[in-house]
Structure formats: C-alpha cells, structure tokens
Structure 1
Amino acid sequence: MRFLLLSLVLALSGCAYRAVEAPAGSWQAQQAALAKLQQWELSARLGIITPDERGSLSLFWRQNQDDYRLNLTNVVGKRVFDLNRQRRQIVLTDSEGRRHSADSARDLVFRLTGWDLPVEQLSNWIKGLPGEADRVEYDDDGRPKILVSNDWRLEYLGYTRIDGLWLPSRLTLTHADTTLRLAISQWELL
C-alpha cells in the first residue's frame, strides 16, 4: 500500500512539473522568453503629441540588462537628448551637450522636456511584456493587444517575428494629455 501511495505521489508531482512547462509557441512560452531577453536594440520613429507640441523623432534604444541608452534625434539628425542608465546612474545629455542626472529617468525627462515618458516601464512594455499589476487584453493570437497600467494605455497595433519571438512593431501609448506613437523599423536581439 505504501509503495502504491508513494508511486501515486511521484506520478502526480511529475505531472505537476510538466504542467508548469509552457508548450512551444504559446503565450506562456513567449512571456518566459521575453522575460529572459535582456540585451536588445531597436530603431524606431517616435511621434509625440502634447497640448503644446507635436513632433516626430528618431529613436535608437539599446538595452543591456538594467542599463540602457535612449537616443532621440529630430528629423534633421540633431540630438534632442541622449538618456543613459549605467550602473544605477541616470544621465541625460541635452541638445546643447549639457549633462543632467537624477534618481528617476521619468522625472528627469519630464523636468527637462515636459514629456511624461514612463521610461522605467518601457523596456518591458516595448517588448510586449506586461507587468504583474498591468491589466491586459489579448488579441486572437494570445499577444497583448491593450495594456493599462498606472493611467497609461498601450495599444499594440502590429507585431513582427524575430528569432522565434513576436515583438511589437507599432504601438500607441496614451496618458492624460500625452500620446506617443512608436513605429519600430528594426529589432536586433543581442
């Protein structure tokens, strides 16, 4: 009887272990792969709409674990700003070459530009990876379609497949009176 009970417990624990593994191609597998994706870069067009301005910029973003570099340039290639996080230090270099630092990238960008950019969350959101507290609506293929977090609303309008992962190619972010439209032209997974 003990042998039978022990066999049943081992069999059930084996089934539970296998059930945790997500089938290839599923959203659970995609989510796990996106969470592990810590080194990447992208190039994109960024449209910013606020009550005071409307503009189109070029965005280059390189992510390496928790460190990143975001470079924004205008249509003629002039630097708008270069935002770096390296070893927990956040530095923004403005269009005049002046360096500014702060503890929060979002606060720093807002203070210098007036743009409310959720920089800390964007590294996950831009990959299509919602946070645990985010409310998410999925498309027919199980990918995030609409994400709501801290008064931000993201709409994922297109995806592209890169190295077996579905990564966003177009998205719109809105918060209060700020709208960001992002059209990603190139992803590179490092």
Structure 2
Amino acid sequence: MLAVRTLLICLGLLLVSGCAYRAEEAPVGSWQAQKQQLAALQDWQLAARLGIITPEERGSLSLFWRQHSDDYRLNLTNVVGKRVFDLSRRNGRIELVDGEGRRHTATNAQELVYRLTGWNLPVEQLADWIKGLPGEADTVIFDADGRPAQVQSHGWQLSYQGYTQIDQLWLPSRLELSHDTTTLKLAVSRWELNP
C-alpha cells in the first residue's frame, strides 16, 4: 500500500512538473518561441503602402524601410513616385531630405518629421513595432497563435491585422496605429531579412 501511495505521489509530481515545463515552452513556430529571434533581427528591409489619416489630410504613400542595427533609411514617395522625404539615421545622426532636396537634421526623428510635415510618425518605436515586438508596452493582447494582436504603448493603439511567415519567422503584414487624431495604416508587400 505504501509503495502504491509513493508511486502515485511521484506520478503526481511528474505530471505537475511536466505541465509547468510545457507551459514555459512555447509551441515551435509561435511568436513567443521566436520573440528572441525577432529582437535579435537587426538587418531587414521592407516595402509597404502607408495610409496617413489626420483631420487635415488623407493620403497613401509608398514606403521603403532599410534597417541596419540602430541605423535606418526610411523613404516615402507619393502615388506618382515623387519623393515626399528620405529619413535616415547614421551613427546617431538623423537627417531628412525633403521633396525639394533640402537637408534637415535633428536629434529626434519623430519631432523632425512632425515639424516638417505635420505628421506624427513614431519612427523610433516603429522599428520594433513593425517586426511585431511591442517593446515597453502598457498592455498587450495576444491572438489565438500567441502573437501580438492589440498593443497600447507610448500613447499609441496598435492593431496587428495580419501576419506572414518569412524565413520561419512570423512578421506583421498589416498594422494599424492610432494616436489622438492620427491614424496610420501599414500594408507590407515585401519583407527581406538580412539583405
């Protein structure tokens, strides 16, 4: 009787420890399992359509983004292919070349874009958000596959509306961001990792 009781206790402990282990292990291919890979992904580029909606205007632009570690180049063009602006960060220096070819520099990309265009673009946070990383978010709601679906961060509301799998990683394909009276809609047409 004592042997049976000891065996049952051991089996119970194995089941409990087994459940705890499985709870910590994310399913293979899930966002939770790939979170560290996404955070380590420093070299990527994408092409997308960017919709910008403010009380004053409504427009659709083509966006090209090339990220290399902390440096980036973000190029926006209008529907006829004319440059709206080219924003870059190299070795901590932020520069924006406007549609007329004039160069502007600043220490804060978001403030520079706002000053020159009136658009509120969270450039620094967007580098993580665009990969599906909430960063230091206030709240995150995950979808049925464990990927971020709704995020509140830095006063922004993010809604991840689609994902695509690229090189075994789940990356956002559609994202909507809103802050006060600004709404941004991003539809990614092409991802390239480690280009």
Aligned alpha-carbon RMSD (Å): 2.0
Q: 1:15-72 CA deviation, whole Å, 9 max, x = no partner?
A: xxxx987663233321111001000000000000000000000000000000000000
Among 170, 173, 180, the alignment partner of 2:184 is 180
Say whether the 8 Å CA contact 2:162–2:175 is kept in structure 1.
Answer: yes
Partner of 2:13 in structure 1?
A: none
Matching residue of 1:106: 110
Query: Match for residue 7 of structure 1?
Result: none
Q: 1:29 aligns with which of 33, 40, 48?
A: 33
Q: Distance in 1 between matches of 2:111 and 2:165?
A: 33
Correspondence for 1:14: none
Which ranges of structure 1 fall in alignment gaps of 5 or more residues?
A: 1-18
1:163 corresponds, among 159, 164, 167, to 167
| Pairs within 5 Å for 1:17-166 | 24-166=28-170
Structure 1 runs, 4 residues or longer, greater than 4 Å off:
19-23
Q: What TM-score, normalized by structure 1, do the two folds share?
A: 0.87
Taking only the aligned residue pairs, the percentage that are identical comes to: 70
Letter in 2 for 1:152: W
**AA partner of residue 35 (structure 1):** A
- Whole-angstrom distance in 1 between the partners of 2:192 and 2:52: 24
Distance 2:142 2:168 in 1: 19
SS in 1 for 2:185: strand
Q: CA deviation at 1:133?
A: 3.6
Letter in 1 for 2:99: S
Partner-residue secondary structure (3-state), 2:157: strand
Q: How many residues align?
A: 176
Moved more, 20-29 or 32-41: 20-29
Residues of 2 paired with 1:133 and 1:56: CA distance?
Answer: 27
The normalised TM-score by structure 2 is 0.85
Report the counterpart of residue 9 of structure 1 in structure 2: none
Question: Unmatched 5+ residue regions in structure 2?
Answer: 1-22
Deviation at 1:151, TM superposition (A): 1.3
